[in-house]
Structure 1
Amino acid sequence: MRRFTAIVNPAAGRAAGAAALIPLARALRGAGAQVEAEYSRGFGHAAELAERAAGAGRTVLAVGGDGMAGTVAGSLAETDAVCGLVPGAVGRNAVARALGLPRASEELAELLLHGEPRPVDVLRVDGEAPSFALGAVWIGAGAARTAPGRALASRRSALFRITVDGTPYEMRGHTAVLANAPCPGAPAAPDSGPGVRLDDGALEVAVLGGGPGRPTRTRGEMLRGRSVRVEADRPMPYAADGIPAPGLPLTARVLPAALRVLH
């Protein structure tokens, strides 16, 4: 029987993560599993808790939104640890949706108890400080709702200089997105393309344009690669899975099949 440690940010999403854990823990314990909860003081503390639990041989549950999922993923990447995701607030769980995880506690408990871990890719982001993501990195206006440089990220366009696997591109827009998983608001790949997947060893890269009262649209072609560097001609904040970072430049690299997730 698996032993679970749930990592919870009690302040996130109006405590939706903590609320989601209560019926799930009841279902897991009812089946005979051991469940303990660790309440983090922030994302750095959450990473430490996840590493400690994994080191003790426990299955680590990331409880909450994409920020917690990406934090736990980064702490456990390229190890033998097993991770489960527990969605919190509706609309903040792009990775859980991409993996097709059930929202009902009983169904999710069944998956966590009896599912087999499968590998997914993790995104390492190197800027002023390294970070990790499972879902996506939003740069510019797309990051404004979480990044401290909100005033810098108006829908005024910037010239993005993007290098994908050594090949340089220049595109103008108000947002760039590096997608490791399908995310709301991110452009879908063309019908002929492979689409965005968590286990394909690649990132989808797009620059978005448009202005007030006009629809957002993709500028130029969708790019695809394993290593991406992004610069711009003006200061632009970014957010990795919703966690704000100081600003460009950044280099993002896919760590293929780096995390074992129950799904």
Structure 2
Amino acid sequence: MIDRAETPSVLRESAVTVFVNSAAGGGRARFYLTKIQKLFKSFHVQAQFVMTKSAAELESSAQNAISQGRRALFAMGGDGTFQALANAAFGAQVLLGVLPVGGGNDFAAALGLPDAPLKAADAILRGEPRFVDLLRVRTAEGRIRLYAGGGGIGLDAEAARYASGAYRRFPGRSRYIASALRALVGFVPLEVRVDFPGSDLIPQEAKALVVAALNSPTYGAGLRLAPGATLEDGSVHVVLIEDIGTIGVLRLLPRLMGSGELRTSRVKRWQVRKVRLTTQKPALFHGDGEILGSTPVEIEVVPGAVQVLAPSPR
């Protein structure tokens, strides 16, 4: 049995509400639910598990819980699931957690959590409160939304559309790679302008496959677009991949699945506080694999936006 003193004080003082997105990870949440419930009991943590059918339902349930005075709220799902919880909780004095059972889990990885759901839950229950950044996007439709890990326009947004549709039940990274390869078929590169409001950086114009705006070092289940990014660096990490063609993409993928170190002038990176993306024709923008709207979009960092329970930063 775990010593109760090993758990953070907030978990000893109040019950945790765990919102379970039953649709996340092709149903993986249901598979791990009983085991995670037992783990919480072994830590002497009181927890109420609330089943939801979607991220949208989870967000609404979390808002209700906050209005009722709940102080510790966890999301059991993927990056999109945590995005829903973060938007519900932003501005409230609450502690958040993520139990990663989704398809991507890049935000959880950036927190230093293991891939295995039970090991991740164990790490959280032994963790400590940390304030982390989020990114805030304003779309052409006027929608304002926080997202946790990575977002962008171009090939990755089209891949996100497939990943949440026809390829939804593919496991882990294979879901995103298969979706990206499918999105390549007939994809037309974007004529894009990248502006950096409040910065001395020169605006960029390019024919691009992808323009990503990241908070975490990876997205798409481990593609390392921004190797130096952390969740506490107060920055938007912008990555522009020029039109390198299908062969170029196939050559690039293994490097992105590895260290993320690229020796090519066709990939450009910037670290800023705010970025604006404008395209010749409207293009979809995704955040954490969820389609959030279309261009033009403006993305900015929100430093220390939420408090999460996680291992200490390395």
TM-score by length of 1: 0.87
Greater alpha carbon shift after TM alignment, 11-20 vs 91-100: 11-20
Partner of 2:205: 170
Counterpart residue type for residue 142 of structure 1: D
Distance of 1:228 and 1:252 partners within structure 2: 5
**1:106 shift after superposition:** 5.6
**1:110 shift after superposition:** 4.2
Counterpart residue type for residue 211 of structure 1: G
Inter-CA distance 238–109: structure 2 relative to 1 (3 Å threshold) = closer
The answer to whether the 8 Å contact 1:123/1:180 transfers is yes
Identity of aligned residues (%): 29
Partner of 1:144: 158
Inter-CA distance 42–104: structure 2 relative to 1 (3 Å threshold) = closer
**1:104 shift after superposition:** 4.9
Partner of 2:233: 200
TM-score by length of 2: 0.74
Partner of 2:214: 179
Distance of 1:6 and 1:247 partners within structure 2: 32
**1:99 shift after superposition:** 1.2
Distance of 2:54 and 2:153 partners within structure 1: 22
The answer to whether the 8 Å contact 1:164/1:223 transfers is no
Distance of 1:53 and 1:3 partners within structure 2: 12
Greater alpha carbon shift after TM alignment, 9-18 vs 36-45: 36-45
**1:235 shift after superposition:** 2.7
Q: Specify which of 5, 12, 15 is matched with residue 27 of structure 2.
A: 15
Distance of 1:32 and 1:226 partners within structure 2: 41
**1:44 shift after superposition:** 2.6
Greater alpha carbon shift after TM alignment, 236-245 vs 25-34: 25-34
After superposition, give the CA deviation of every residue in 1:165-190 in whole Å (9 maximum; x if it has no partner).
3453223211110010011334245x
Partner of 2:256: none
**1:257 shift after superposition:** 0.4
The alignment partner of 2:86 has SS state of helix
State the number of aligned residues.
256
**1:161 shift after superposition:** 0.9
Which protein is richer in strand relative to its size? 1
The answer to whether the 8 Å contact 2:226/2:237 transfers is no
Inter-CA distance 85–140: structure 2 relative to 1 (3 Å threshold) = same
Task: Calculate the aligned-residue CA RMSD, in Å.
Answer: 2.5
Counterpart residue type for residue 50 of structure 2: E
Partner of 2:167: none
Distance of 1:185 and 1:260 partners within structure 2: 25
Query: Which residues of 2 match residues 62-101 of structure 1 at below 5 A?
Result: 62-89=75-102, 91-101=103-113
Structure 2: unaligned runs, 5 residues or longer: 1-11, 163-181, 253-263
Partner of 2:276: 229
